[in-house]
Amino acid sequence: MNTTNRGRPDFLMLFLTVLLAAIGLVMVFSSSAMTSSIKYHNMWYFELRQVTWAFAGLFLLFFFMNIRYRKLKKWFRPLFLLTVVLLVLVLIVGTKVNGHKSWFGIGSLGMQPTELAKLSLVLYLAALIEKKGARFQNFKEGLAPVLLIVGFIAGLIMLQPDIGSNIIIVSASVIMMIVGGANRKHLLLVALCAMPVGLVIVMAKSYRIQRLTSFMDPWSDTQNSSYQLVQSLYAFGHGGLAGSGFGQGVQKLFYLPEAHTDFIFSTIGEEFGFIGSALFLLIYLAFLWRGLIIALRSPDLFGTLCGIGIVTTIGIQALINLGGVTGSIPITGVPLPFISYGGSSLLLCMVSIGVLLSISRERAAGGRKRGRLLPGNRAAQLMDMSHHGFDLPVQFGHLLERHAAGGEKRLRNADRFVPKRQAFVRDPDDHDALVLAGPLPLHQPGRFHPLQHRRQGSRVEIEDFAQLFDRAFFLFPQNQ
């Protein structure tokens, strides 16, 4: 069992989360004040509910942040079963909203079990993939059971129907499988087989075809199928470079439907313009990037997969929402995480970040007291460690030994492949070995990168898009 020390949570991640939630509260008020005044005779109607959910979410964030995330392994089965029960019940007794039977109506409040499914499936897959270990590369024993679980949840959600949430869940699950070590040829074959099924689902309903055609030519039917998209584009156009000013947007005044939910980014674009929208997107990108760093620095595979699953779920949902409101992709009707009005979405996002912050608190034995390489010939320092009885990380061992055999000059040439700020810690399972304590540098396209890992006896180069996720293998080498 790995020995870990409990450290402080990642302050930057916590700050960015609270900042996004605060931006969401401000924009929910701006985009809903007039609607709630006319409809409910209270301009604070939506805002007060969102504030309530935000404080409840903040409480749960701190609660889960202070629980060791490994304890979630004991909860993932009951949580998954609860999710399945809720997804079945919502089809029977759920409330139909905008053509989707995906809500439980509780008085004036509502709860969407699909949001719980996103987190519970991430935890379930992380625990299952870690348990399977090297067997996960075998299709029958490893990948097939995981695909069946994802397909089962996706099928229940499709009965609502909710294509947007299905795209999010399936995409995040596939990324978790890639990071977990699934054979990519198997995944490619499964994807090719699933494409006709997806095409049939899209073509089964006429309104889905209308969304596709309106996305391709929004100006062909501005008063019907393309109405939302056209009004959204008008909002961005009215915002211009600097925006019309906070609260001064026009499209939210009953021109743009769902201005406080799915199309809240259109209100941001109108009131703060291109500059404000760009700053907002930079904050969101920093939030996602920080989450990936936390995930890749986790001391075990379960933590890495949980972190990757949480970050990619939020990131893909944000991408789908932003793409829809800007006309880049067809509209699917998913909210913008942390920003759009919606209690269950905000609550589960805060819980997910609480789990991510719990992962950030875990450090390998001696975590914060880790050694860094001194300035100078870093490759030579690693070789010196090796000569004093330390087993080098597998990522550097074969490289440095090969270069050392060629003399001091070749060893200096190898130095450029050892990160200047790379830190190493003692392996908690083998105190005579060193393991990497941080992510590796990104590969520069077009340049040979010698840091390789072994998979089924063959050397695989890091390259292109998959390199980002392959870094997880470097932190957690698998014995095969």
pLDDT tens, position by position, 322-362: 998 988 888 888 899 999 998 889 999 999 999 999 999 88
The pLDDT of residue 21 is 95
Higher confidence at residue 136 or residue 430? 136
- What secondary structure letter does DSSP report for 476? S
Does position 438 have pLDDT exceeding 80, yes or no? no
Q: What is the DSSP string of 379-390?
A: HHHHHHHHHTTP
The pLDDT of residue 7 is 79
Distance, in Å, from the CA atom of 212 to the CA atom of 203, rounded to the nearest integer, reads: 10
Q: What is the DSSP string of 399-460?
A: HHHHHHTT-HHHHHHHGGGS-TT-EEEEETTEEEEEEE-SPPPPPPTTS-----EEETTEEE
Cβ atoms < 10 Å from Cβ of 430: 10
User: How many residues are present in the chain?
Assistant: 480
The pLDDT of residue 388 is 52
pLDDT tier, 287 (very low <50, low <70, confident <90, very high otherwise)? very high
Higher confidence at residue 120 or residue 93? 120
Distance, in Å, from the CA atom of 159 to the CA atom of 161, rounded to the nearest integer, reads: 5
Distance, in Å, from the CA atom of 163 to the CA atom of 265, rounded to the nearest integer, reads: 21
The pLDDT of residue 280 is 95
CA 461 to centroid of chain Cα atoms: 25
Q: Which helix or strand (DSSP H or E) is residue 105 part of?
A: strand 100-106
Higher confidence at residue 379 or residue 312? 312
List all residues 6 or more positions away from 191 whose beta carbon is below 8 Å from its beta carbon.
174
CA 90 to centroid of chain Cα atoms: 26
The pLDDT of residue 317 is 94
pLDDT tier, 107 (very low <50, low <70, confident <90, very high otherwise)? low
The pLDDT of residue 344 is 86
pLDDT tens, position by position, 154-177: 999 988 888 888 999 999 999 999
Distance, in Å, from the CA atom of 129 to the CA atom of 14, rounded to the nearest integer, reads: 28
Give the residues across from 460 on adjacent strands. Answer: 453
β-pairing verdict for 109-111 and 362-364: unpaired
Cβ atoms < 10 Å from Cβ of 140: 8
Give the 3-state secondary structure of residue 142. Answer: helix
Distance, in Å, from the CA atom of 428 to the CA atom of 370, rounded to the nearest integer, reads: 13
The pLDDT of residue 379 is 56
Distance, in Å, from the CA atom of 157 to the CA atom of 117, rounded to the nearest integer, reads: 9
Is the separation of the CB atoms in 263 and 332 below 8 Å? no
Q: What is the DSSP string of 284-308?
A: HHHHHHHHHHHHHT-SSHHHHHHHH
Q: Which two tokens stand for residue 472?
A: 């997880």
Q: In sequence order, what E strands does 242-369 have? A: 362-364
Distance, in Å, from the CA atom of 115 to the CA atom of 82, rounded to the nearest integer, reads: 13
Distance, in Å, from the CA atom of 321 to the CA atom of 310, rounded to the nearest integer, reads: 17
From the number of C-beta atoms within 10 Å of its C-beta (0-12, 13-18, 19+), residue 479 rates as: exposed
Give the max Cα distance, the chain: 81
Does position 8 have pLDDT exceeding 50, yes or no? yes
pLDDT tens, position by position, 221-248: 777 777 888 888 898 988 889 888 888 8
Is the separation of the CB atoms in 72 and 123 below 8 Å? yes
Distance, in Å, from the CA atom of 176 to the CA atom of 311, rounded to the nearest integer, reads: 11
Give the residues across from 459 on adjacent strands. Answer: 454
pTM metric for this prediction: 0.75
Q: Locate the domains of the chain by residue range.
A: 4-364, 371-475
Distance, in Å, from the CA atom of 426 to the CA atom of 145, rounded to the nearest integer, reads: 35
The pLDDT of residue 445 is 36
Q: Would you state the torsion angle of the CA atoms of residues 372, 470, 183, 187, taken in this order, to the nearest 10 degrees?
A: 150
Cβ atoms < 10 Å from Cβ of 343: 19
pLDDT tens, position by position, 20-29: 999 999 999 9
Is the separation of the CB atoms in 333 and 43 below 8 Å? no
Mean pLDDT confidence for 445-474? 34
**Mean pLDDT across the chain:** 77
Q: Which two tokens stand for residue 279?
A: 């700053």
The pLDDT of residue 217 is 75
The pLDDT of residue 458 is 31
Is the separation of the CB atoms in 401 and 410 below 8 Å? no
Closest C-alpha to 184, from 198, 174, 172, 193: 174
Distance, in Å, from the CA atom of 386 to the CA atom of 399, rounded to the nearest integer, reads: 13
Distance, in Å, from the CA atom of 69 to the CA atom of 108, rounded to the nearest integer, reads: 34
Give ∠ CA 363-21-309 in degrees, rounded to 5. Answer: 45
Distance, in Å, from the CA atom of 412 to the CA atom of 400, rounded to the nearest integer, reads: 10
